[in-house]
Amino acid sequence: MNTTEKYLVGVYDDEDEVLHAVTEVKGKGVKIEEVYTPFPIHGLDTAIGHPRTRIPIAAFLFGLTGLTCAQFLINYTMVFDWPMIIGGKDFFALPDWIPVTFEGTVLFTAFGMVFTFFVSNSLWPGKTPKTFDLRSTDDKFIMTINMGTNKKSEAEIEEILKASGAIEVNVKQF
Amino acid sequence: MSHVVSPIRETLVGGGRSYHDVTQDICKQVEGEPTKEWKIAFSVSCVIFAYGAYCLGYTWWQGIGVWGLNKTVGWAWDITNFVWWVGIGHAGTLISAVLLLFRQKWRTSINRAAEAMTIFAVLCAASFILAHMGRPWLAHWALPLPNTFGSIWVNFNSPLVWDVFAISTYLSVSLVFWYLGLIPDLATIRDRAQTKASKFWYGLFSVGWTGSAKTWARYEYVSLILAGISTPLVLSVHTIVSMDFATSVIPGWHTTIFPPYFVAGAIFSGFAMVQTLLLITRVAFKLEDYITMEHIEMMNIIITVTGSIVGIAYLTEFFIAWYSGVEYESYCFINRAFGPYWWAYWMMMTCNVISPQLFWFKSIRTNILISFILSVVVNVGMWFERFVIIVSSLHRDYIPSSWAMFSPTMYDIGDYIFSFGLFFTLFFLFAKFLPVINMAEVKAVMKGVSSNYPYKKKSEGGKESVTH
């Protein structure tokens, strides 16, 4: 078995060009693995065919968890464990607890969501990135095509990439 | 990118820059040797920091008896400085969160520095919270931790406890927001790194970022949701700070206008501080093409709007003090304006209400020197606002025999100096080791707003290799 993966790497120098190129290259039956860009391009992920992210759902669930935890903590301490009369209020003084409940919700949402973001993209401190072209974090837009998942020949795909506006087509092996 | 930009919009990135130029311009500060100016400025701030650390250390060691507080004026510079710094710490998140939700593209070149400033300002604020506790090593008593007294818990009905939660949540969420925005730029520096040390450190903190379309799509959602939750968060923080006062029964504090009034004041002073720092940064790092006159003018307009809201709040307070018919309230406000602290009151009025109105004139709000001076004036005024609210409300107690004045000792002043030392030391470190402008975000909006963008040249001149 061949353990190395072979990629064709198309280099573009404009975000509109790469966005059009994705549709064009896909239209010609080439499977695009990923596009690496120095900044977000709206609609690029859907053009490639990535499914919509479910991060907002995770964020909502984390928020719900935060709200529950905050309410649990306050109720446990103020109502059950050591109830005290403060300012003649009920033990269960819900309006007073809104600020802390809100902060708890926000805290859990933010941390939970960002943690999920790191995990789902498998990013962690010190990770060595799989870099196809160092310029993809500067000013170039990099389209990668995994030769293992494509039936067309290398020359054919290179032709398609060039026709779609790629300024360079390189071969990269991992 | 399919951005629709009105042709009447001013350009936000000048000088006909390409994406690579942006990377080059911003990374230059990080990659090069520190400049002589930076070294001098950093050394000065370290000296200030060291002197301040001595004063703060002495305060911690001896207790807050070294301050000029007395039985009547039990809160003075400590809480004034705390509220002042927290207020300043509002602009960063406001710029990155609220302006993101409103799709204001001019925020892209100022949000990074503003967010950094936010975090440092909140740290400065925290130093006063700790110091004013008197026994800072027991600061964890403000948290609901199990303990050997029962457990006896914190009082969740108290605004001071709300404040603990609000400030710590705000600090940590701002930090997360800031770091998330830094990751793509850290990856840019990593990919350009020449030395072993920078390869290691920027590699470590850029968490293996590659900028794949899938990651960017998730990143955009995360930013949007963070902005969505940070917007009410930033409003809640100063609301809760104001409740530290508003839920008490002290005349001058016990008013329902406090939350919106404090929030407007916070945005006002925060934008002024951002303006001060950016005007220095753009000259020091030669970023005139990124932080343009358009940015300066926009900031000045926001300063005028929030300054006017603050002005209306001052007048409303006065009106309500009379209209309520409460003698204590009326006395308190007349005493503020014409009592022994009249100078502080009129200082506040001049700096906060009158001076920002000068920005109605275009020639003034587009004048860099005047903008700089007024941005400092605003923050002087905002410091006096907090001083007036706190000290002038306290110093006339209900019993005239308790009436007192407050005068600061060298430790009151020294602890304030500490916060400046801390703030500028951190800011200079940030400016040297991290990209001061969010490269990824600036690049993302360049096509719509940059002057003379190369793409235009290309499509006019025609390029052989590109066929559509």
The model's pLDDT over B387-401, given as tens digits with 9 standing for 90+, comes to 999 999 999 988 999
Mean pLDDT of chain B: 89
- 3-state class (DSSP) for residue B156: coil
B132 is written with which tokens?
A: 């004013």
Contact A97 B225 (CB under 8 A): no
Distance CA(A73)–CA(A77), nearest Å, equals 6
The model's pLDDT over B236-255, given as tens digits with 9 standing for 90+, comes to 999 999 999 999 989 999 98
- DSSP assignment, residue B157? T
Distance CA(B122)–CA(B171), nearest Å, equals 7
| pLDDT > 70 in chain B, percent | 93
Distance CA(A97)–CA(B404), nearest Å, equals 36
Domain endpoint, select from A102, A120, A138:
A120
Testing the interface with A: which of B169, B173, B182, B438 to mutate, by most A Cβ within 10 A?
A: B169
Domain endpoint, select from A96, A120, A144:
A120
Per-residue pLDDT band at B96 (split at 50, 70, 90): confident
At residue A148, the pLDDT reads 87
The label of the residue with tokens 């209400």 reads: B353
What is the number of helices (H) and of strands (E) in chain B?
19, 0
pTM reported for the whole predicted model: 0.91
Residues A95 and A81 occupy one common structural domain: yes
Exposure pattern of B182-221 as b/e (b: 16+ CB <10 Å)?
A: bbbbbbbbbbbbeeeebeebbbebbbbbbbbbbbbbbbbb
Residues A18 and A44 occupy one common structural domain: yes
The model's pLDDT over B402-416, given as tens digits with 9 standing for 90+, comes to 999 999 999 999 999
Contact B191 A137 (CB under 8 A): yes
A112 lies in a domain? yes
Nearest to residue B379, comparing CAs of B177, B87, B98?
A: B87
Within 8 A of B161 by CB-CB distance, chain A residues are 100
A167 lies in a domain? yes
Q: Are B275 and B300 a contacting pair, CB within 8 Å?
A: yes
Instruction: Count Cβ atoms below 10 Å from residue B115 Cβ, excluding itself.
Output: 27
The label of the residue with tokens 């160092």 reads: A134
At residue B15, the pLDDT reads 73
Residues A111 and A65 occupy one common structural domain: yes
Residues A28 and A83 occupy one common structural domain: no
B93 is written with which tokens?
A: 């998140």
Nearest to residue B198, comparing CAs of B208, B186, B207, B209?
A: B186
Contact B447 A15 (CB under 8 A): yes
At residue B466, the pLDDT reads 38
At residue B9, the pLDDT reads 62
Reply yes or no on whether the pLDDT at B447 is more than 80.
Answer: no
Reply yes or no on whether the pLDDT at B449 is more than 70.
Answer: no
Residues A27 and A67 occupy one common structural domain: no
Nearest to residue B321, comparing CAs of B307, B310, B309, B335?
A: B335
Residues A150 and A103 occupy one common structural domain: no
Residues A132 and A116 occupy one common structural domain: no
Q: Pinpoint the alpha helices (H) of A40-140.
A: 44-48, 55-75, 94-120
Reply yes or no on whether the pLDDT at B120 is more than 80.
Answer: yes
Per-residue pLDDT band at B457 (split at 50, 70, 90): very low
Let me know the angle formed at the C-alpha of B467 by B465 and B468, rounded to the nearest 5 degrees.
155
At residue B104, the pLDDT reads 84
**Contact partners, residue B353, CB within 8 Å, separation at least 6:** B307, B310, B311, B314
Residues A103 and A88 occupy one common structural domain: yes
Sign of CA dihedral B212, A129, B219, A61: positive
Residues A74 and A113 occupy one common structural domain: yes
A155 lies in a domain? yes
A86 lies in a domain? yes
Give how far Cα B364 sits from Cα of A172, B11, B378, Å: 57, 21, 15
* pLDDT average, residue stretch B16-45: 89
Helix (H) / strand (E) containing B258: helix B258-284
Closest CA of chain A from B153, distance in Å: 6
The model's pLDDT over B298-341, given as tens digits with 9 standing for 90+, comes to 999 999 999 999 999 999 999 999 999 999 999 999 999 999 99
Instruction: Quote helix, strand, coil % in chain A, to nearest 5.
Output: 50, 15, 35
The model's pLDDT over B252-303, given as tens digits with 9 standing for 90+, comes to 999 899 999 999 999 999 999 999 999 998 888 888 888 989 899 999 999 9
Nearest to residue B210, comparing CAs of A34, A7, A79?
A: A34
Residues A100 and A14 occupy one common structural domain: no
Chain B residue nearest residue A36, CA to CA: B212
The model's pLDDT over B124-147, given as tens digits with 9 standing for 90+, comes to 999 999 999 989 999 999 999 999
Number of domains present in the structure of chain A: 2
Length of chain A: 174
Within 8 A of A63 by CB-CB distance, chain B residues are 229
Length of chain B: 468
Nearest to residue B143, comparing CAs of B154, B135, B132?
A: B154
Torsion angle, alpha carbons of B67, B50, B93, A46, to 10? -160
Closest CA of chain B from A3, distance in Å: 23
Neighbour-count burial of B439, counting CB atoms closer than 10 A to its CB (0-12 exposed, 13-18 middle, 19+ buried): buried
The C-alpha R_g of chain A, in whole angstroms, comes to 25
A113 lies in a domain? yes
**Contact partners, residue A65, CB within 8 Å, separation at least 6:** A108, A112
Q: Are B111 and B223 a contacting pair, CB within 8 Å?
A: no
Helix (H) / strand (E) containing A159: helix A154-163
Distance CA(B261)–CA(A149), nearest Å, equals 61
A77 lies in a domain? yes
Within 8 A of B149 by CB-CB distance, chain A residues are none
Return contacts of B368-375, CB within 8 angstroms, 24+ apart. B368/B279, B368/B296, B371/B275, B371/B279, B371/B296, B371/B299, B371/B300, B372/B275, B372/B276, B372/B279, B374/B272, B374/B300, B374/B303, B375/B272, B375/B273, B375/B275, B375/B276, B375/B279, B375/B303
At residue B450, the pLDDT reads 57
Closest CA of chain B from A46, distance in Å: 9
A1 lies in a domain? no
In the predicted model, residues of chain A with pLDDT beneath 70 are: 1-3
Reply yes or no on whether the pLDDT at B465 is more than 90.
Answer: no
Q: For B136, list phi and psi in degrees, rounded to 5.
A: -60, -25
Residues A80 and A108 occupy one common structural domain: yes
Instruction: Quote helix, strand, coil % in chain B, to nearest 5.
Output: 75, 0, 25
- 3-state class (DSSP) for residue B69: coil
Contact B440 A42 (CB under 8 A): no
Mark which residues 383-442 of B lie under 8 Å from A by CB: 439-441
A65 lies in a domain? yes
Testing the interface with A: which of B24, B149, B156 to mutate, by most A Cβ within 10 A?
A: B156
Q: Which residues form the domain of A38?
A: 6-50+128-173
Contact A114 B176 (CB under 8 A): yes
Chain B residue nearest residue A118, CA to CA: B207
Helix (H) / strand (E) containing A142: strand A141-146
What CATH number did the domain enclosing A150 receive? Answer: 3.30.70
The model's pLDDT over A45-85, given as tens digits with 9 standing for 90+, comes to 999 999 999 999 999 999 999 999 999 999 999 999 999 88
Residues A42 and A81 occupy one common structural domain: no
Closest CA of chain B from A35, distance in Å: 6
Say if strands A168-173 and A6-12 run parallel, antiparallel, or are unpaired.
Answer: antiparallel
Closest partner CB to A86 (pick from B157, B204, B210): B157
